[in-house]
Amino acid sequence: MAVPGIVAHLDLDAFFAAVEQLENPELRTKPLIVGGDPHGRGVVATANYVARQFGIHSAMSAAEALRRCPHAVFVRPRHSLYREYSRHVWTTVRGVVPTVEQTGIDEGYLDVGEVAGDFLEARVVAEAVQTAVRAATSLTCSLGVAPCKVVAKVASDVRKPGGLVVVPAGSEARFLASFAVRRLPGVGPKAEERLRAAGVETVGALAALGDGELRRLLPGSVGAVLRDRANGIDPRGLELDTERISISVENTFERDIADRERLHDELRGMAAEVAEALQKRGQTARTVTAKLRYADFSIRSRSTSLEVGTDDPSTIADLACRLLDRGLRDRPGALRLVGVGVSGLAAYRQLALGGI
């Protein structure tokens, strides 16, 4: 667990809708809803900011969204595409802040204290994260920077889209006080109902509750946790998964490249780096992936899996080149970036020698 002296919460703005707009720029000026069938029992996964002006939000029924905005454009979610963009975002983020707890496809916490000594430096780091994500993917993100997770989470939602809110140490409770109690992470619908019925409508009012009133309204340990959070007290560190499940190398070109041989040369060099990393770790990989990013920042990846894992650079390179060719057949064009990744990692296994 990392100690969160300065932690940021990063939230990609209207992520699914933003990706769809990158893939089809004509959607940018239209009310766009990503979700299920509006003529059935579908639900809104997300909506772009044009659609949100009609009061449309995540988890609303698609039928209600259609009623509020009859001219909205509905698209079905493409989760594999969103995962590709997400992987690229988090690779980019780790290039600025190495220690990250990814809590979802579009959000996570960053240990900014690892690279910034105070909150002024933390603001600069957070701005660098936003700039890097936008340069790498054309996506925008909002960040909240604070001494702890709960305050950072609330802060990241204040100035969407593309916002940055910094809450220095000592100002946490004051920052939270005026928000509706439902905005505090951990306060669900039932807790909100109990608190509001007792006249506790803001986070500040929850923070000021005495022990007796707190136990009456929120029995058990949850009440004390929520009151602490309302006061900006949150001892949770970043939860880090130390197991590496993939290895990848990628390169962004100064100028877009269309020459197939040069692209193959780039991939072969990356494959050698990936293979070296596998060999150093004593691992093999069963799945090889080639990543392609086009001039318009759209991303494609193609993968293939082997029956038996490999750490051989030639094998990885040959597969990556074939995958790139396949991707370019599906969508021709000059590339801004290519990458090679491997997954399905496993440790070497010693073969038992039987008698002859």
Q: So which residues are the catalytic ones?
A: 107
- Taking phi first (over 0 means left), then psi (-120 to 50 degrees means alpha), and beta for anything else, what does residue 63 get? alpha
CB count within 10 Å of CB 58 equals: 14
Q: Compute the distance between CA of residue 198 and CA of residue 311 in angstroms, rounded to an integer.
A: 63
The pTM of this model reads 0.70
- Start and end residues for every CATH 1.10.150.20 domain found in the chain: 172-230
Q: Classify residue 237 by its DSSP letter.
A: -
Under the banding of pLDDT at 50, 70 and 90, the label for residue 353 is very low
Contact 267, 318 (CB under 8 A): no
- At the topology level of CATH, where does 16-77 sit? MutS, DNA mismatch repair protein, domain I (3.40.1170)
Sign of CA dihedral 294, 297, 300, 301: positive
Domain with CATH 3.40.1170.60 in the chain: 16-77
pLDDT for residue 349: 42
3-state secondary structure of 293: strand
Per-residue model confidence as pLDDT tens digits over 81-104: 998 899 899 999 999 999 999 888
Judge contact between 141 and 13, C-beta under 8 A. yes
DSSP 8-state secondary structure symbol assigned to residue 27: G
- Give domain 172-230's CATH superfamily: 5' to 3' exonuclease, C-terminal subdomain (1.10.150.20)
pLDDT, tens digit (0-9, with 9 covering 90-100), for 277-305: 888 878 899 999 999 998 887 888 999 99
Average pLDDT over residues 112-125: 95
CA-CA distance, 151 to 4, in Å (whole number)? 12
Residue ranges, comma separated, of all CATH 3.30.1490.100 domains in the chain are 246-347
Q: Please say if the pLDDT value at position 352 is more than 60.
A: no
User: 246-347: CATH homologous superfamily?
Assistant: DNA polymerase, Y-family, little finger domain (3.30.1490.100)
Q: Which whole number is the average pLDDT over 333-343?
A: 93
Nearest 10 degrees: CA dihedral of 144, 148, 151, 156? 20
